[in-house]
């Protein structure tokens, strides 16, 4: 059976791509005199009402932009689930918030985000009523395991670790169900990159392999046994020789976590950009979601930097590659 095609949807995505921010826009924002000037550039690029001058509320603009992107793609492929691999992280973010809020007795509302596979209000109602029937089986299992982990460790981090593992488990299942090599490869890269970041962080903090193993997520090409073999090497990147990530790690890991994280994002973006050469299949829609998410992350880096008085050169060093 041939690969399914989406001629109208891809044509629509090509139109939406025109509204993505360019590297030039990022640099202009980074070089703006202050946060308000950076916000003005963002608004003029189509992020909202140009009369809005309150730079401290930029997060609302970013949330609105992402919600629109998710909605646009969902409308185009309402009967498909391949884009869920990009949305599970929002579901599991909300589960983290709701579980921790339940434990601490605080209001979760300010930290809940839209854009998951499950409506945020549905999740809130489930926790408020302790009736989780509207939540999919895998998530219900993860919720139970997260509460159990907290009970043993009395730590919010234990909740995070359980839910991160569950999120990648769902991503891998959905990727396999999609029968798309592009989506499968994206999930593989995302899992491997997540583990490489944990690997560098744990090594830098001089934590044992067992602590790293608690952070390890399934779904990538680098097994837990592989990390065990290379964990105590002379350098974090030395043991990666021969893998597809060696150049990335050899360049980024010696420069610290901030640089490495940026290069990891750019590594995945270079893969995502392959969708530019697809004219009928689902890759451009998946790529558009990732492009918007990366754009929002980059704008957040810029705006946070301007608000906190970080110089333009430092901000520019942290910019992610633009899709367009």
Residues listed for the chain: 324
Tell me the pLDDT tens digit for each residue of 301-313: 999 999 999 999 9
What DSSP letter does each residue of 251-281 carry, written as one string? Answer: HHGGG-HHHHHHHHHHHHHHHHGGGGG-SSS
Whether 112 maps to a domain, the answer reads yes
Give the Cα separation of 52 and 308 in Å (integer). 20
The gap from C-alpha 91 to its chain's centroid, in whole angstroms, comes to 12
CATH number reported for the structural domain that contains residue 166 in this entry:
1.20.1690
Whether 156 maps to a domain, the answer reads yes
Whether 32 maps to a domain, the answer reads no
Whether 99 maps to a domain, the answer reads yes
Share of the chain above pLDDT 90, in %: 88
Whether 138 maps to a domain, the answer reads yes
Q: Where are the alpha helices (DSSP H) in 105-204?
A: 120-129, 137-153, 156-178, 181-204
CA-based angle 94:97:102, to the nearest 5? 125
Position 53 scores a pLDDT of: 65
Give the Cα separation of 122 and 95 in Å (integer). 11
Statement: the pTM of the whole predicted model exceeds 0.85? yes
Whether 129 maps to a domain, the answer reads yes
78-92: buried (b, 16+ CB within 10 Å) or exposed (e) per residue?
A: eebebbbbbbbbbbb
Question: What residues make up the domain containing 140?
Answer: 88-179
Share of the chain above pLDDT 70, in %: 98
Give the Cα separation of 167 and 108 in Å (integer). 20
Query: Is residue 55 predicted with pLDDT exceeding 50?
Result: yes
Supply 320's token pair. 């992610």
Taking alpha carbons only, the member of 161, 192, 188 closest to residue 172 is 188
Whether 100 maps to a domain, the answer reads yes
**Helix (H, G, I), strand (E, B), or coil: what is residue 80?**
coil
| Residue 1 pLDDT grade (very low, low, confident, very high; cuts 50, 70, 90) | very low
Taking alpha carbons only, the member of 54, 61, 58, 47 closest to residue 19 is 47
Tell me the pLDDT tens digit for each residue of 214-250: 999 999 999 999 999 999 999 999 999 999 999 999 9
Q: How many domains does the chain have?
A: 1
Residue 25 phi/psi, 5° resolution?
Answer: -65, -45
| Residue 54 pLDDT grade (very low, low, confident, very high; cuts 50, 70, 90) | confident
Whether 322 maps to a domain, the answer reads no
The DSSP element (H or E) to which 74 belongs, if any, is helix 58-76
């Amino acid at each position: 059976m041939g690969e399914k095609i989406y001629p109208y949807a891809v044509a629509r995505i090509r139109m939406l791509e025109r509204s993505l921010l360019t590297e030039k826009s990022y640099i202009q924002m980074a070089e703006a005199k202050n946060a308000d000037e950076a916000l003005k550039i963002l608004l003029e690029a189509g992020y909202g009402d140009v009369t809005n001058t309150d730079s401290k509320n930029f997060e609302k603009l970013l949330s609105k932009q992402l919600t629109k992107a998710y909605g646009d793609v969902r409308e185009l492929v309402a009967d498909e689930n391949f884009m869920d691999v990009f949305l599970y992280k929002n579901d599991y973010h909300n589960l983290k918030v709701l579980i921790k809020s339940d434990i601490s007795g605080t209001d979760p509302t300010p930290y809940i985000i839209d854009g998951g596979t499950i409506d945020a209000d549905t999740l809130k109602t489930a926790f408020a009523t302790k009736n989780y029937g509207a939540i999919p089986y895998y998530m219900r299992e993860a919720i139970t395991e997260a509460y159990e982990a907290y009970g043993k460790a009395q730590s919010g981090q234990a909740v995070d670790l359980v839910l991160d593992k569950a999120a990648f488990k769902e991503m891998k299942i959905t990727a396999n169900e999609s029968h798309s090599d592009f989506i499968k490869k994206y999930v593989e890269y995302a899992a491997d990159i997540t583990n490489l970041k944990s690997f560098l962080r744990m090594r830098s903090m001089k934590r044992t392999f067992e602590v790293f193993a608690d952070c390890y997520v399934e779904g990538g090409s680098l097994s837990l046994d592989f990390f065990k073999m290379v964990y105590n090497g002379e350098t974090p990147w030395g043991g990666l020789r021969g893998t597809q990530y060696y150049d990335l790690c050899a360049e980024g890991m010696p420069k610290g976590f901030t640089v490495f994280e940026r290069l990891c994002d750019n590594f995945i973006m270079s893969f995502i950009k392959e969708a530019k050469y697809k004219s009928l299949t689902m890759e451009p829609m998946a790529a558009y979601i990732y492009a918007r998410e990366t754009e929002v992350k980059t704008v957040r880096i810029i705006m946070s930097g301007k608000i906190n008085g970080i110089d333009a050169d430092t901000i520019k060093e942290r910019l992610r590659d633009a899709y367009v």
